[in-house]
Amino acid sequence: MSLDLPRTEPRSLNPAADEVRQRLEHARTTRLAQLKALDDTGQNPGDHLMSNQKDAIKRVLTEIDEAFARVEDGTYGTCLGCSKSVPPERLEILPHTRYCVACQSRAA
Ligand SMILES: [Zn+2]
């Protein structure tokens, strides 16, 4: 029994990055569960509403993957539209978001 190994893994210089990864991981798990739930109830694969929903979820999953990459390269939390910091409150609600509120509403 060797339980005396150090439990700390210094794999990240930025302590906030781990929290962000956890948040993104949680977001991904939630979306994958939604996708699975849609598949499970999918008695009608040609249903447009359902395929729209699935497409939307898949799009978010792609954005989550991209957000993971941005955590790695250190650009996470920077708006791709105006290069300013996205407010932390917004990142808490939408951890995968690429834009601040102003740029998002301009894009929409
Ligand atoms: Zn912006």
What is the tally of structural domains in the chain?
A: 1
Q: Residue 20: which CATH number? A: 1.20.120.910
Predicted confidence at residue 108, as pLDDT, reads: 67
User: Are the C-beta atoms of residues 103 and 81 closer than 8 Å to each other?
Assistant: yes
Bigger pLDDT: 53 or 2? 53
Alpha-carbon span 96 to 69, nearest angstrom: 11
- Summarize pLDDT for 64-86 with one digit per residue, the tens: 999 999 999 999 999 999 999 99
The answer to whether residue 25 is domain-embedded is: yes
Domain annotation covers residue 90? yes
Domain region containing 49: 15-107
Determine contact, residues 23/92, Cβ cutoff 8 Å: yes
Q: Classify residue 7: in a domain, yes or no.
A: no
In a domain, 67, yes or no: yes
Residue 32 lies in a domain: yes
Q: Rounded to the nearest 10 degrees, how much is the dihedral formed by the CA atoms of 94, 96, 98, 104?
A: -30
Q: Where residue 107 falls among pLDDT bands split at 50, 70, 90?
A: confident
**Quick check: is 44 in a domain?**
yes
Residues 6 or more apart from 77 whose CB is under 8 A from it? 20, 70, 85, 86, 88, 91
Q: Could you give the 3-state DSSP secondary structure of residue 78?
A: strand
Ligand 1 centroid vs 106 CA: distance in angstroms? 9
Distance 25 CA to ligand 1 centre (A): 24
Residue pair 24/71 in contact by the 8 Å Cβ criterion: yes
93 inside domain: yes
Quickly count: other Cβ atoms within 10 Å of residue 100's Cβ.
Answer: 20
The Å distance, Cα 98 to ligand 1 centre, comes to: 8
